[in-house]
């Protein structure tokens, strides 16, 4: 469904010029890159194909960039909704299409700079052990990071802190929107568009937050030697293969198909083929 929605966004000029659709397309593109890259790494690991060190580092870098891009864009979508609801008359002045393109470019630059600094620190401290990179499996590398050197643990805690701050920003914006619009009457019915949209946004936010919370608990238990390495690997497998994939699977259905323009365009394509 992600390539289909992207084709609708990029093929329609009227849709492509709106801020919300540009941000949606950027988020879906990041999720698509992440899903394809992670599927490739999982398939290579299951096939027991040993990648060169440079190829493994590049694949991990691409995964990190795509994940950060999706997370930062999700935060930008929330800020866009926040401005659209609280400043409707100034919305087009604050976020015209030209400024949105610059914001998307800045999001990709931040998504590339953050993991770039992370990998430079690891390479300068020689924390990348050759046997770790030979496996090139994200869950295995993640659990070895938690049991690795102090530099690896520091990078892990810094990364989780940045992700936690982004998710906290998203949650605060949603809370402010709820309390600001509570007296407007749009929350009277449980099946109203505002209530359903709020529930869907919080569902995606919960599935973004759950892997981070699980990793925090796992890292705390690993540091205190409460769980064994085998248990830690199973937890990492669950986080990477299920919890981190769920929000990216739900995102196109809860966000993309929610917009009338996109759903109507998809319906017109299906009807045309049917006729």
Segment 189-218 mean pLDDT:
75
Reported as a single tens digit per residue, the pLDDT across 151-175 is 777 777 777 787 778 778 777 877 8
Is pLDDT at 129 greater than 60 in this prediction? no
Domains belonging to the chain, first-starting first, are: 1-274 (1.20.1070.10)
Contact (Cβ atoms closer than 8 angstroms) between residue 23 and residue 77: yes
Reported as a single tens digit per residue, the pLDDT across 94-115 is 888 889 999 999 999 988 887 8
- pTM for the structure as a whole: 0.83
Q: Tell me what percent of the residues of the chain surpass a pLDDT of 70.
A: 83
Reported as a single tens digit per residue, the pLDDT across 31-76 is 999 999 989 888 888 888 777 877 888 888 898 899 888 888 888 8
CB burial of residue 128 (10 Å; 0-12, 13-18, 19+): middle
Those residues whose C-beta lies under 8 Å from the C-beta of residue 253, and which sit 6 or more positions away, are 1
SS3 147: coil
d(CA 76, CA 240): 24
pLDDT band for position 275 (50/70/90)?
A: low
Residue closest to 146 by CA, chosen among 136, 135, 132, 134: 132
């Amino acid at each position: 469904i992600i390539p289909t929605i992207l084709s609708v966004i990029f093929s329609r000029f009227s849709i492509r010029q709106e801020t919300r659709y540009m941000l949606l397309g950027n988020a879906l593109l990041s999720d698509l890159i992440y899903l394809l890259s992670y599927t490739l790494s999982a398939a290579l690991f299951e096939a027991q194909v040993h990648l060169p060190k440079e190829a493994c580092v590049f694949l991990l870098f691409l995964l990190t960039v795509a994940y950060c891009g999706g997370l930062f864009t999700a935060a930008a979508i929330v800020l866009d909704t926040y401005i659209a609801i609280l400043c409707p008359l100034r919305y087009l002045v604050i976020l015209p299409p030209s400024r949105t393109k610059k914001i998307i470019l800045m999001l990709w630059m931040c998504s590339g700079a953050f993991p770039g600094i992370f990998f430079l620190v690891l390479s300068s401290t020689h924390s990348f052990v050759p046997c770790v990179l030979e496996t090139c499996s994200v869950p295995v590398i993640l659990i070895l990071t938690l049991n690795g050197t102090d530099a690896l643990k520091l990078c892990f805690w810094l990364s989780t802190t940045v992700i936690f701050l982004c998710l906290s920003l998203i949650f605060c914006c949603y809370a402010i929107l709820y309390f600001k619009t509570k007296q407007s009457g749009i929350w009277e019915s449980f099946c109203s568009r505002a209530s359903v949209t709020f529930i869907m946004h919080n569902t995606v936010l919960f599935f973004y937050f759950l892997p981070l919370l699980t990793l925090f608990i796992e890292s705390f238990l690993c540091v205190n030697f409460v769980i064994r390495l085998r248990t830690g690997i199973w937890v990492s497998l669950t986080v990477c293969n299920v919890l981190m994939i769920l929000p990216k699977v739900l995102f196109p259905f809860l966000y993309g198909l929610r917009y009338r323009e996109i759903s109507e365009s998809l319906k017109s394509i299906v009807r045309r083929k049917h006729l």
